[in-house]
Each structure stands twice: as C-alpha cells, then as structure tokens.
C-alpha cells in the first residue's frame, strides 16, 4: 500500500516519492513551511520533522538547548562527578594543611631563603649586643678584716675628716618578668643557644627578632638563644 504525503495527505506513488524526516512527500510538496520554496535533499533543513529553507530555519536559543532532558541529565552527572573528585582530593589532602603548596620546589626555595635571612639577622643582632653591651657590674670594695681605723688624736680640738662614703653600685634593672612555656623539645645547635624540653618554663625572656628570643630555662638554669616558635607565653 502506498503511503500518504506528509503535507497534502494524498497517496504518494513511487515515481514521485521523497523519503525524508521520517515521512513521505510529493516532490512538489517537499517545500519550506514559510516561503513554500521547493526543496531537495541537499538544501533542506529539518526542524521538528518539518522542512525549512536556510533563510527561514527557526533560530534556537541556548535556554532551549540546556533545558532538554538530555542536557539536564548531563549537567546533573557532571555535578556528581565534580563532588566525587572534590571528596577524593579532600581525603588525600586531609591533615596535610598547606603542605601541598609548601612542598613545591619554588616554595621550598623561598622558605630556605627566608630561614637563611632570619639566621643572618639573628647572628648580626647577637654580635651587636655582645660587643656593645654593658660590662659586669662592679661590686663595692669592702675593707679587709684586719683593717683598724687610726686612733683619734689626744688634741680635743682636732676633728678627723670623715672618710667619703662610697655609694653601692646600682642594682641591675628588674627582669621584664616575661615567662614562656616550651611546647616542643629543642636541642641547641650553636654555642649561644640553650636546650630545653617540652613543658619547661623559660624566664627573663627578651625578644631578639621575630624568629629568636633570649631567656633562661628555669629547670636547668641555663640561658641562651631559643627559637620563638618553640615556646608560648604564659
């Protein structure tokens, strides 16, 4: 049985049949839906199973494409894949903090340069303090145990000149009173540094720079330089 034409609904015979867009057409009926220009298999454009010429082909918008069920499914699938990748990266990097960035060769080079600059500055400041600091306090001289003051003259009109009283040397300034507690163990790496253990109390602390301090370990009595990031104020 011969099929019907997709436009005029009349019987289409094999000699004039055009099979396109899942329909059968007469050659004269296969034309543009708007301008009725006769089309062929080379110059037609199909939209919703209807033929159009190039000039009158309907313009589709982006929203029409994205709102299709297929695109919605792809969008949802991409979102799920993104969440899965995020969770994988989170589990891999959990507990590492910022080590992913700090472990790059460039960041390692910058960190090494900063450590070298800090050490150089610390030693320069220490040498300046060492060379320009005040000397040890002088203790007042005390008379020897066998010393006897001269006897007074028998002349009652004679008044001996009193000996000048020496003033005691000024006491050293009181300690700033800064106390810190060690949060890590540290072993001295230089002669002017001090070792301590986790939990030790550091007293008489003086700030040298951002990276170093000077203080005395209360447990051992030793004093010297110590790294500032190994202690916390109490």
Instruction: Give pLDDT, residue 66.
Output: 58
Residues in CB range of 208: below 8 A, 6 or more apart: 122, 125, 126, 214, 225
* Token digits of residue 121: 């500055």
Express each pLDDT in 84-140 by its tens digit.
Answer: 777 777 777 766 654 545 567 777 788 888 888 887 877 787 877 777 655 444 455
Query: Would you say how long the chain is, in residues?
Result: 234
Instruction: Give pLDDT, residue 150.
Output: 55
Nearest to 51 by CA among 17, 78, 71, 24: 24
Torsion angles phi and psi, residue 69, rounded to 5: -60, -35
pTM: 0.27
Instruction: Give pLDDT, residue 197.
Output: 92
Instruction: Give pLDDT, residue 203.
Output: 93
What are the per-10-residue average pLDDT scores of the chain (234 residues)? 88 89 90 91 89 87 64 81 78 62 72 81 78 53 55 52 53 60 91 92 90 92 92 90
Instruction: Give pLDDT, residue 14.
Output: 87
The Cα–Cα gap between 39 and 30 comes to 6
Instruction: Give pLDDT, residue 159.
Output: 59
Torsion angles phi and psi, residue 120, rounded to 5: -65, -45
């Amino acid at each position: 049985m011969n099929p019907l034409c997709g436009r005029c609904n009349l019987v289409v015979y094999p000699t004039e049949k055009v099979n396109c867009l899942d329909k059968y057409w007469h050659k004269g009926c296969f034309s543009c839906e708007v301008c009725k220009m006769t089309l062929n298999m080379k110059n037609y454009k199909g939209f919703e199973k209807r033929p159009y010429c190039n000039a009158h082909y309907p313009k589709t918008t982006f929203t029409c494409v994205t709102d299709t069920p297929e695109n919605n499914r792809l969008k949802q699938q991409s979102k799920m894949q993104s969440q899965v990748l995020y969770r994988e990266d989170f589990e891999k990097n959990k507990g590492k903090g910022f080590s992913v960035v700090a472990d790059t060769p460039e960041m390692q080079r910058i960190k090494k340069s900063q450590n070298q600059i800090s050490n150089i500055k610390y030693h320069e400041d220490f040498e300046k303090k060492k060379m320009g600091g005040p000397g040890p306090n002088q203790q007042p001289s005390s008379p020897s145990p066998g010393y006897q003051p001269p006897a007074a003259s028998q002349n009652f009109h004679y008044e001996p000149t009193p000996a000048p009283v020496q003033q005691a040397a000024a006491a050293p300034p009181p300690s700033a009173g800064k106390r810190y507690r060690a949060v890590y163990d540290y072993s001295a790496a230089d002669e002017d540094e001090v070792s301590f253990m986790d939990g030790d109390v550091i007293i008489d602390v003086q700030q040298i720079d951002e990276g170093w301090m000077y203080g005395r370990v209360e447990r051992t009595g030793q004093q010297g330089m110590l790294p500032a990031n190994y202690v916390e104020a109490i």
